[in-house]
Amino acid sequence: MKDDQTNPHRRGFLKAGAAAGLASGAGIARAALTRTPADDAQRQVEPFYGAHQAGIVTPQQSHTYMAAFDVKTESRDELVALLRAWTLASARMARGDTAGALDTPDDKPASDSADILGLGASALTITFGFGPTLFKTSDGKDRFGLAAKRPAALVDLPRFNGDQLIPEKTGGDIMIQACANDAQIAFHAVRQLARMGTSANVTSIRWGQAGFLSGPKGQTPRNLMGFKDGTNNPSTSQPPLMNQFVWADGADAPWMKGGTYTVVRRIRITLEHWDTMELGFQEQVFGRHKYSGAPIGKKKEFDAVDLDTADKDGNPAIAENSHVRLSNHMTNNGMQILRRSYSYNDGTNFYIERWPPWRQETEYDAGLIFVAHQSDPRTGFIPINTKLAKFDMMNQFTTHVGSAIFAVPPGAKEGSYIGAALFEA
């Protein structure tokens, strides 16, 4: 957001007398000199209300906190009341305010933890999604009368080859994704909404995950393996591509028109193993040059991927089981998904190596929070990942331990709430 120099909140004092003009000019000059890019980033505001939810095609922020919730109540009215409260609180936090007013009596819990006072919005976006179990539980129960409104595209994800899913990191009735250019602001947003759901006895946290993003502004970020992640995304600046690959048309579920389907996968990477691999092998795994991001045989990141060129020995220059070849739209019937992933680092784990000699080993608990938005996962993520799970060379370094899918409805209008068309239509 551009700074408005007429804003009454800008600091500076006018002094009386003949020196008033000079003093004012000097004050403005000093303010301009002391203002930093970090200040501008803290003041940046992304609108909460709109045709689409923010946090999907919004320029990717540097931090996220994602969480999935189980709905405890069986009262539709209680759930709708929470969604209304969440919407109002989210709109407040997105503009840099607290989740609730700070006028709580001393003998009552405060409406906000207050750990972000003075930090600004930092481009905070808060995105909501509904999981398959909100429409019908695993035992077939339709708790809220929504089963008939479940979109056909909101499928239960299949178990892919090599999955080692942890139940506590998988699924969920409702997703909340908070993204911001400050880690504390992203976590604060989910924390406040979680507290509201708990105090109302409507929701409880199923899983949560913090993530971060590294890379110069405007450039493709790099993952923990050192490669650029998301080079082949469809351009978010081209509405026709977004309409084709990201936004749902709502054909069988009108309440989803303008929404999207989001797949979240928690992928652990054995960095200790990866870091011992030769550079050339790493590049063959990805099908790209590590430093430039260019496809193998090319010079620039966005050079076209050439899947037909052979190397000096007659083999494909981009290996048949490389990540780029298997995930490229040219080998997937032209389909594309919008990746908006984040890295994570949850410290270290240790285990006992039981093959002689017995010894204790320590390893990183780190990897990728894979996030993909698409108009239909049945033609997007599922067929692409089915192929990757079977053949991708990268599988020897990765393990999928968490998985979820959500229907992310369109944005809310002021005075309404997220998911209103689902519950009121």
Q: Encode pLDDT of 230-282 as tens digits.
A: 999 999 999 999 999 999 999 999 999 999 999 999 999 999 999 999 999 99
| Averaged pLDDT, 172-195 | 98
Task: Report pLDDT for 21.
Answer: 40
Tell me if 195 is assigned to a ligand binding site.
no
Summary mean pLDDT of the chain? 90
Pick from 74-78, 307-311, 352-356 the range whose average pLDDT is largest. Answer: 74-78
Statement: residue 195 has pLDDT above 50: yes
153-164 pLDDT, tens digit each: 999 999 999 999
Residue 385 burial class via C-beta count within 10 angstroms: exposed 0-12, middle 13-18, buried 19 and up: buried
Distances in whole angstroms, Cα of residue 397 to Cα of each of 225, 268, 271, 326, 341: 10, 8, 8, 16, 18
DSSP 421: H
| Chain centre to alpha carbon of residue 362 | 29
Distances in whole angstroms, Cα of residue 308 to Cα of each of 296, 297, 332: 12, 11, 16
Q: Which two tokens stand for residue 173?
A: 């009735």
Cβ pair 258, 386 in contact under 8 A: no
249-258 pLDDT, tens digit each: 999 999 999 9
Q: How many helices and strands in the chain, by DSSP H and E?
A: 11, 9
Tell me if 84 is assigned to a ligand binding site.
no
Task: Report pLDDT for 42.
Answer: 84
Cβ pair 409, 421 in contact under 8 A: yes
| SS3 state of residue 407 | strand
Distances in whole angstroms, Cα of residue 185 to Cα of each of 39, 123, 164, 199: 15, 9, 32, 21
> Please, what's the largest Cα pairwise distance for the chain?
87
* CA distance linking residue 347 with residue 210, whole number of Å: 12
Statement: residue 140 has pLDDT above 80: yes
Full DSSP string of 256-288: GTT-EEEEEEEEEE-HHHHTTS-HHHHHHHHTB
| Dihedral of alpha carbons 211, 216, 221, 223, sign | negative
Q: What is the pTM of this model?
A: 0.89
7-46 pLDDT, tens digit each: 444 333 333 333 344 333 444 344 444 445 556 778 899 9
| Averaged pLDDT, 126-137 | 98
Statement: residue 419 has pLDDT above 70: yes
Tell me if 63 is assigned to a ligand binding site.
no
| Averaged pLDDT, 194-203 | 98
Task: Report pLDDT for 325.
Answer: 95
Number of other residues whose CB lies within 10 A of the CB of residue 123: 25
| SS3 state of residue 97 | coil
Number of other residues whose CB lies within 10 A of the CB of residue 336: 21
Distances in whole angstroms, Cα of residue 241 to Cα of each of 232, 250, 303: 13, 17, 19
